[in-house]
Amino acid sequence: MESFSDIVRRLLGSPGFKFFLICGLILIMTIPLLLVWGLVSERETRAASVRQGVASEWGREQYIDGPLLIVPYTVKRVTGEGDKRIEEIVERRAVFLPQSLKISGNAATKVLHRSIYDVAVYTGLLDFEGSFSAPDMAEVTADVQTIRWRDAVLAVAISDVSGLKTAASLTIDAAQQLNFEPSIGVPAMRGDGIHARLAPVREIFEMPAGADGAASGIKGFSFKFSLTLNGSSELTFAPVARETSVDITSDWSAPSFWGAFLPNDRDIKADSFTARWEIPHLARSVPQSWSLADQPLERMQNYAFGVRFFVPVDFYQLVTRAAKYAMMFLATAFMAVFLLEIGASRQVHPVQYLFVGLAMTFFYVLLLSFAEHIGFLLAYLVAAGATGGVISLYVAKVQASVTKGLIMGAVFFVLYGLLYMILQLEDYALIAGAIGGFVMLAVVMFATLNVDWSGKARTAG
């Protein structure tokens, strides 16, 4: 009968104990893997910071909301009760949206390089044309004291006005021109933009018979203006009109259309694209007029649409996705070394397993560092070749077997080939990874069917 010390000695030397020891080593490897995740996040944050720096100098993402007709008016507000009631006249502003709006333009792009980072920027030449119907203040509120029609402004909200590179002028009814002025034209209102006061265009105001004083209304009018502005990464618009149409052409080859509405028509070529949006007002839950006291100008942002100008290869996302499979691939490599160890005369020490794990973890560091300079594909080949080659040679030396080294080389060829395929199959990455992991588990299960996990056969022999 075995003594207790013999049982302990047998268990400590059994393949089963070695298996659980390897599982523990795999869990320990989560520590350097977390450091790799932190490194990828830090480099991605650094890249985003550089892009923001370039964008602040050239022009940030541009979001255009307008044109909007903004008319000041006053209402009577009563506060308090009984004898302490106080009446005061409060100024408000009403917003009226266009009846029609057609935007057409071209975005000439280029890629700016700063250090090792690329930033997509553009210069947009945009033409705006449309019309306003006669605004009706009764649609905004019924409690109106006075309406200052002559103080009405036509405003265009622009997310980054520093991107405007030329002066802009507004043409009313294909006749009179007005120069745009800085700001949105509403006192104490946040947000960037430009505005033009409509007072000089007397023809659009309805005047009482024989009166030269205050206007009694604004007639419907057409408008036309152009903007030249720099921006980066994306160009978006708000569907402000009852009928909004946008036509954009660009020399960018990899656009990403996004927002509340996708183009009705698009044509993407190897070196350019064209896109066209047609959006009726029924597609957005915003009325044609409202008071800024009730809703802000920003209410249209939920319905913004446009195009993003991405640099086609975002290797930080690819490295992050690759790292998600690190534990599965690490376990597979450890199991391969374990299977080669079973029955061999030379055992693999736990420290040597750790060396294998650290080498596999360093694959992601190599991939990230080289990808920033030579692109993802070449970096992947370098990192996979270096990691697989070193570990295969190491196993061959530890086991004193060229054959086992070649087997490990084949294992890593399959592992890194599978990983690259998963990264390319973006829509099917989960199913490909699940199938690959299941197949690996099945191979290990059947390859260890005859393993004496308890070590009794070895002790009896």
Please write the tens of the pLDDT for every residue from 177-208.
899 998 887 775 667 889 999 888 888 887 77
Is 0.95 surpassed by the pTM of this model? Answer: no
Predicted local confidence at residue 460, as pLDDT: 47
> Which residue bears the tokens 């030269």?
212
Predicted local confidence at residue 433, as pLDDT: 63
From first to last of its 461 residues, the chain has per-residue pLDDT tens of 555 455 445 444 555 566 677 777 777 777 877 787 777 777 777 777 777 777 777 878 899 998 999 999 888 877 766 667 777 778 888 899 999 999 999 999 888 777 667 778 888 899 999 999 988 888 888 788 888 888 889 999 998 888 888 888 999 988 888 999 988 877 756 678 899 998 888 888 877 755 556 777 888 899 999 999 998 888 999 999 999 999 999 988 888 898 889 999 999 888 889 999 999 988 888 899 988 888 888 888 889 999 988 765 567 777 777 777 777 777 777 777 777 777 666 677 777 777 878 888 888 888 888 877 777 788 888 888 888 888 888 888 887 788 888 888 888 888 888 777 777 776 556 666 677 667 766 776 766 666 555 555 554 44
